[in-house]
Amino acid sequence: MTERKTGIYLCSGCGIGDAVDVPALEGVAKKEFKLDSKSHACLCGDEGVAMIKADLEAGVNQVAIAACSARVMSDRFGFEPVQVLRADLVRLQKFHEFILRSVGDGIYAIGPNGDFIMENGRSAQLLGWPPDELIGKPAHDTVHHHRANNEHYPENECPIYATMRDGQVRRVAGEVFWRRDGSSFPVEYTAAPLVAENGKIQGATVTFRDITERTRLEEAQVEMLEKAHELSEMKSRFIGVTSHEFRAPLQVVESAIQLIENHSAAMGPEKTKELYTRVRGSIQRMTALLDDILILNRIDAQQNKVTPIRVDADRLLRDLIDEHRMADSNVHQFEIKSEKPIGEVMLDTKLLHHVLSNLLGNAVRYSPRGSIITTSVGLEGGELSISVADQGIGIPQAEREKIFEAFERGTNVGRVRGTGLGLNIVKRVVAMLGGTIQVSSQVGQGSCFTVVIPVEPPTPGPA
């Protein structure tokens, strides 16, 4: 059975046309086809018939021209014999579809009622829908219904619908589209009106792209800039604090040397010894400050490695406390409490020394003369617990978290010197050891810092 199609036929002789139902033309010089409404013959009797068929399929205008009389087409219209078959039209359609598929951005169109009427492959891929399943669905309720903060997005506030109302092209960023599975992704998009020949807006096209990676990079850049600013501020504070902390002991050393040089003959042994003691103390302060700076630098550079060795924990703690007792010249009272001996364990003694030296040093620095500094030790379940309690000025409640940050000091320290590095070192070293640190404090009554670190029993020695 011959396929029949409807088209617009123009007589090549008189130009009169009519819409008729005739067999589809697949070749040239089909003389039996005419344009009379009954006989399919042109009323002017001309044998030549040119057919122009306008067909709209998938958004592609296809024009098929079949020459019924090569002679008439050539003589009267100046055409060479032409045959544009439907295969050419299919190729044209596929070419347009290829272009849409090749575009890296998602593209979709919505009609006057807000439903999807077209989408390209990238749009379906980004939105997580099978091809063509979005067609006919309400666009806003399907992919644009909530904002990035999960707040409902009213349709009348949507820029795409504003474009459909006023015909203005809009470029939007900072919003999200929603996938079929309920997840969202950040987008930037351009909404442009679909305008008919009569000037009436018939819908809108939306071109969009997923900017997840760009957003991540921008956030990372902002974070880096903030960190750089923070490091710059920290550097300035570091220079200010360390220069002050070095200047004070250097002034002590300089004045002591001047006294010895100019008045050594008039000074007795006791005064000379006192000056030497002051010089030695100043040197120890500068050495301790340098040690703090170096340990922080090694931690930042990840050069410190935990190296546990077999050690008598009780003796190690007694030695550390005795060091501070001697350096303190018995200004404070040092006590150590333990329900039972700890015995031998595997510990990194150097790192533990940094922890306890800073905790005991702070207890000495911020406690009144004659007060008691108590170190309590315990071992339970493979965890070593060490608490250092003082009867000093205490730490305000609002500052107990910040106190572990570099260069942070309590607002109640008064004129007591310090860098604000000690507790930062303690926290970071304890973290390296896999432990935790907690603080309890009462302003005017004292503070207690408790460190808990995991320890292993000593490895067996050689037989």
Q: Are residues 22 and 147 in the same domain?
A: no
Based on the fold, state whether residues 294 and 174 are members of the same structural domain.
Answer: no
Residues 95 and 109 in one domain: no
Distance between CA atoms of residues 205 and 146, nearest Å: 20
Tens digits of pLDDT across the chain (463 residues) = 333 333 334 444 444 333 333 333 333 333 333 334 444 444 444 443 333 333 333 333 333 333 333 344 444 444 333 334 455 566 766 776 777 766 779 999 999 999 999 889 889 999 999 988 999 999 999 999 999 999 999 999 999 999 999 999 999 998 999 999 999 999 999 999 999 888 899 999 999 999 999 889 988 888 888 888 877 776 666 666 666 666 667 777 778 788 877 877 777 788 887 888 778 777 777 777 777 777 777 777 676 678 888 999 999 999 988 888 887 878 899 999 998 899 999 988 888 888 998 899 889 989 999 999 999 999 988 899 999 999 999 999 888 888 888 777 778 887 777 667 788 888 988 998 999 999 999 999 999 999 999 988 876 654 4
The residue among 62, 77, 100 that closes a domain is 100
| SS3 state at 407 | coil
The three-state secondary structure class of 103 is: coil
Q: What's the distance, CA 210 to chain centroid?
A: 15
Contact between residue 442 and residue 394 where contact means Cβ atoms under 8 Å apart: yes
CA distance 289 to 395: 22
Residue 149 structural domain: 104-210
Are 188 and 271 members of one domain? no
- Is 367 a member of any domain? yes
Are 399 and 327 part of one and the same domain? Answer: yes
Same domain, 143 and 190: yes
Q: Are residues 173 and 205 in the same domain?
A: yes
| Number of domains comprising the chain | 4
- Any domain includes 463: no
What is the per-residue pLDDT for 48?
38
Boundary-marking domain end, from 69, 100, 131: 100
End residue of a domain, out of 71, 100, 129: 100
Same domain, 328 and 445: yes
The answer to whether residue 189 sits within a structural domain is yes
Distance CA 164, CA 205 (A): 10
72 and 196 housed in the same domain: no
Asked whether residue 222 falls in the same domain as residue 193, the answer is no
How do residues 406-447 score in pLDDT, each as one tens digit? 777 778 887 777 667 788 888 988 998 999 999 999 999 999
- Residues 323 and 439 occupy one common structural domain: yes
Q: What is the pLDDT of residue 6?
A: 36
**What is the reported pLDDT for 357?**
86
Question: What residues are paired with 119 via a beta bridge?
Answer: 108
Same domain, 238 and 317: no
**Residue pLDDT, tens place only, 304-344:** 678 888 999 999 999 988 888 887 878 899 999 998 899 99
